[in-house]
Structure 1
Amino acid sequence: MKKEEPEYKKHLKGIVLNLPETPGIYQYIDENGTIIYVGKAINLKRRVSSYFQKNQKSIKTKRLVNNIRDLKYIVVNNEEEALLLENNLIKRYKPRYNVLLKDDKTYPLICITNEFYPRIFVTRRRLKGLGTYYGPYTYSAPLVAVMGLIKQIYSMRRCQLQLTPERINQGKFKLCLDYHIKTCKGPCCGLQSHEDYMKDVSEIKEILRGNTQTLLDLLMDEMKSLSQQMKFEEAQILKEKYELIESYRAKSAIVNSYINADVFTIEMNENIGYINYLHITNGAVNQAFTFEYRKQLDESEEELLQLGIIEMRERYGSKSPEIIVPFKVYMNLANTTFTIPQKGEKKKLLELSLMNVKQYKLDRLKQAEKLDPDQKRIRLLKEIQDQLKLAKLPAQIECFDNSNISGSDAVAACVVFKMGKPSKNDYRKYNIKTVVGPDDYASMREVVGRRYKRIIEEGGTLPDLIITDGGKGQMEVVREVIEDELELKIPIAGLAKDNKHRTSELLYGFPPVVIGIKQSTPLFHLLENIQNEVHRFAIKFHRNKRSKSQIASVLDNIKGVGQSRKEALLKAFKSAARIKAASEEEIAAVIGKAAAKNIKEKLNGDS
């Protein structure tokens, strides 16, 4: 007997199957709820799936996988963000199976010291009280670019001398090589004033904060002022500085390390509010969590978001002075401001949070639909109800289509979908009885009238929505029958096709208007499936009827061939042409030797 798969493996398999193919980080959790591994991926689904392959050769990886009981992940915009987030989480949780960076090194930072004449240098250690830090930089390129710009524009000291005003005034220092090669202006010997030096430091801080446009505006104003004063040489120096900063701004990305905030976004469905929380410290995500509230009393988005903000800040002990939200939240927290960003770095953080909550919501829906496929169909029917503003869920949808060739063998068909699934036992075929010639509108009028008059007479179930395979004209004909003749109130919609005979739009209302539904969405595919199904059913019925009439005309007046034998031949050979092509033995196998001989003699004689 095959051993049943453990529940935790089923749980993990469900998550892995629904992982997005986007950059992000993933966290493996053991039976005690402890994070045992944090990893990064350019493609989350592909990377995480590789751990659970049966042919896994690495013993260490097998040991890790055997201890995994749960999996969480965070989606990000790109690989750089994944690297930053992975680094922060590894330092925070120190997972058992992660390789920690040697010598406790981390990504490089830029430090501006708190000295009287500040130094600027790259470091991997953040020492409290030493100075102000900018970064971290996950790649060397932006770090090299910004340090190169600073070196090119500003003559900052590189020595580690303790330059205090007293020691400078006492002449304790001598000029070094940097002064003679013009990479330092000699503040150690009083050749550069403290005011001038700190002005350069102030500009460098603006560059490192990412406020290059603010700095460019200031330089432009200063250039104009110098030009008006006829100080063209000084203006030219500023112009060269301006051009270098502008070039850098166009080519490089500055990591803004000054944002300290909590970010919250929310997505809703009918009964649940999904909330994402990002805790931002120095511009880096060091906490990320998506959770959900099930509505009890029809709470609004704002009410659920308020609950989420209080819960998360209390749970994680956050004292962030700023909370970034997607819309105005009417609540006051001590020493805290609420921001609804419209652009810039804060807007990017809000978009990152929104991307995570949307992905979480989508994944939860996929998992729920795998466990209970009816949920997906109910959700799609709810979407139809919302789109058309129907009074009730369209649990039973009926769709009509006509089929004929120049009016001959005219038929119609009705297909029935119950709870989003075809109910083939309820499909109906109709031979058109009262219409002469190709008149689709008259045929639709006849069939709709016949169907619902019979349902009323027999006390059957009327549909919640009627859909015609056609546009405004077909809809009006159905409306006249339903509302004017039968005095029924059943919503009526129309599915129109484009010139390539593909479903293109949904029409609703009188006068009909186009209901915007994006193609490639599950809702569009459901409507397309309904239209294709009624068309298929009508065409099949029409072809069968034509085949019967063709066979009947060929086999009429042949001795020994009655109605039952005609039907048997139709079932076996499908068309008159195939009967003609069949051998006497093949026909005899269906209706007997004597009748087969008569048919072959008649058909050979006709040919």
Structure 2
Amino acid sequence: MSSSKFDHKSFLTNLTQRPGIYQMLNETQEIIYVGKAKNLKKRVSSYFQKQDHSPKTRAMVAQIRDIQTVITDSENEALILENQFIKKYRPRYNVIFRDDKTYPYIFLSNEAFPRLSIHRGRQTRKGNYFGPFTGSTAARYSISMMQKLFLIRQCENSVFKYRTRPCLQYQIKRCSGSCVGIISQEEYAKDVELVRLFYQGKNDSVIKVLNERMMKASEALEFEKAAQIRDQIIQLRRVLEKQAVQGSDSDVDIIAAGIKEKTGAIFMLNIRNGMVQGSRNFFPKVPKDTSAEEILESFISHFYTAPQNELPSEIVTSHELREAKAIAEQLSEMRESKVRLAHKVKTSRAGWLAMAKRNLNEMIIAKLASKNHTQKRMQSLMDELGLDRLPLRMECFDISHFQGEQTVASCVVFDQGQAKKSDYRRFNIKDVKEGDDYAAIQQAVRRRFERLVREEARLPDLLIIDGGKGQLNQAQKVLEDLDLAQEITLISVAKGTERKAGMEQIFFPSEAIARRLEEDSLGLHLIQAIRDEAHRFAITGHRGKRDKQRRTSVLEGIPGVGAKRRRAIIQHFGGIQEVLRAGVNDLKQVDGISESLAQTIYDQLH
């Protein structure tokens, strides 16, 4: 740890001119910035030359006490490594983007009769991934459309395998009945190929194939079938009309960036084959005095390194990029074909760019309005409860159980007035008398704060317990035991005798009488929001625990059926209801289940 000024001249003397990344550290050895370079010496030295740096860069350079480098074989490799380091260390002077894994994709499985489903996260399963979509609603709509147009199944394999007659989806003409052999594997594969072509934007090919099918059916005097295909074509054309934007058959990403009142935003339009295939927005964490051009350069350099993000042949940006030539070269190397970057465009591209800018402006206005409202709610809560500081970080605990069983405690976190789901935690309550909410709260709060203290993690400004004075006292005891009672403001919230929203009672450890806030109080609305979120999170955790127990409880205690066989049975049938319907012949089809054991299981269940 050093507070002395960084000797950049000595450092630069021996610095290599090869490509790589550089990490800038401050006096506490915190990494404050990570960058990449084609020539490390040239790039790093530029920070210390007398030129017109932005206020952000000047502030960053003033904090440098050390620079560490990692040499790579190419600039492209440096770009990938830079992206990994930024995600790992989240340096304060880098633009930080949300991890793209949160966006949903549509997954088309790779099996005899493929199914469509929504997928998030790493793409490890064999099959086709289409997207990303702006949200689960858009993805579900797209799957529903594919069902109507091409009758592709959506059901889970555990259901598909054991159907003996067509389900309701077949009756309402949203499935071809592949589970019971109504359509052959060969014919089903043709429909699946149309889905692939559609998501690849090859809509003319899809319509051409459907027209050929219609003509063939008509020539074979299969007029009902021909009419069904005609309806498919009509529906498909309507969908395409909604998507269409006048333009050439191009693959282009239109990216607009802006910043206002420390709020940075990016809006992206994805154009494939001259049609808008989707849009996405990002709210990156931006350092002070960051420009829109810097946001764009950082976004483009890192977004396309993720394998799930398709790299088009052209990218149109709302601002001219200083490093446009270098970025285009990097992207072209990644794509293995030329990628064009442009900001001055005409005709259809100008229209798309104008659309992106309009959407960007609306996004920023809405985000700022939400921020201002959140700030007002926190300020109101501080004023009305007499808190000594703004409750920037709040945690709330709730307990859920059913008749005292499968007790689960939830802890939800609000940061800057917004839910921070990555910090949520659930606790399975152990060794507590059934229905003892007081002991459950004490156990959950103790486990949570013992860990925060042990890891020297950030403590909440305000701790909220869903409950009355009894639950509050249990939490207060934990804070006192851990010497945290003076550091954290603690309250509990009870719904009151009428149990109506707006009639909540708020308890403080040092006060015998509960407080009440006005029904229209912004501070009360913030308390209600975090309390309701804690309740929701506790309920879903409890249901999951209860359902898990139900799935296996009827099989427990059967001789010869241990945990491994119970899992095999549940996986084979897809649920306990199907197990209960199964006969001896069905049960013995499960791996590891003999005929005699199948008979034992059947006898025990019936």
Instruction: Quickly name the TM-score band, shorter chain normalised.
Output: 0.3 to 0.5
Bigger radius of gyration: 1
